[in-house]
Amino acid sequence: MRVIAGKCRSLPLKTVPGMNTRPTTDRTKETLFNILQPYLADCRFLDLFSGSGGIGIEALSRGASFCCFVEQNRQALGCIRENLKFTKLESQGRVLAAEVMQALDRLEGEPAFDCIFMDPPYNHEWEKKVLARLRKASYVSAETLIVVEASLETDFSYLEEMGYRIIKEKKYKTNGHLFLRRLEGERE
């Protein structure tokens, strides 16, 4: 795995050995960031289920001013820290070693994130749980772009009822990216 573009272009990144994490392929990452590029300049980025941190580091390399990485796996946390140090992006990153729902609670009161990315374990309905929490979070505005990576089988029929609108959808062979925004007035 490597950084695709930006100030850290072509730098190799460490990954967690085994199948506990699924690093996003370079091709998929390039497609994702071609879509995200207009949103990245000086943005606050939140990378949920970070794995080795490749998505958040790519965002920083391409112009994001800050990235908060949320991960609970100890090996993955070590990779994130090593990758941030190797890419010299440590000062722009914050690593939260916590289960994602606990981390979301800890972020209450923080300034709004411009972009939130999540790549949760597939087929466990984490997307729905996280989106339910983000719906009322103080750090999510109507302008916050939320990107969900999920298997193609994932049911998102609840989105409108939950207060989200789909901005864009990109499908690949086995998974896809859903780009969402919270509907105005949905925070309770």
Q: Is residue 148 part of a domain?
A: yes
* Residues spanned by the domain of 160: 44-182
C-alpha 36/C-alpha 145 separation (Å) is 9
Degrees (nearest 5) of the Cα angle 75, 67, 72? Answer: 25
Give the pTM: 0.92
* Residue 169, H or E segment: strand 164-171
Tell me the pLDDT of the chain (188 aa) as tens digits.
777 888 877 777 888 876 555 667 778 888 999 999 999 999 999 999 999 999 999 999 999 999 999 999 999 999 999 999 999 999 999 999 999 999 999 999 999 999 999 999 988 899 999 999 999 999 999 999 999 999 999 999 999 999 999 999 999 988 999 999 998 755 44
Contact between residue 58 and residue 31 where contact means Cβ atoms under 8 Å apart: no
Does 54 map to a domain? Answer: yes
- Asked, for residue 23, whether it belongs to a domain, the answer is no
Determine, yes or no, domain membership for 20.
no
Does residue 35 form part of some domain?
no
Structural domain count of the chain: 1
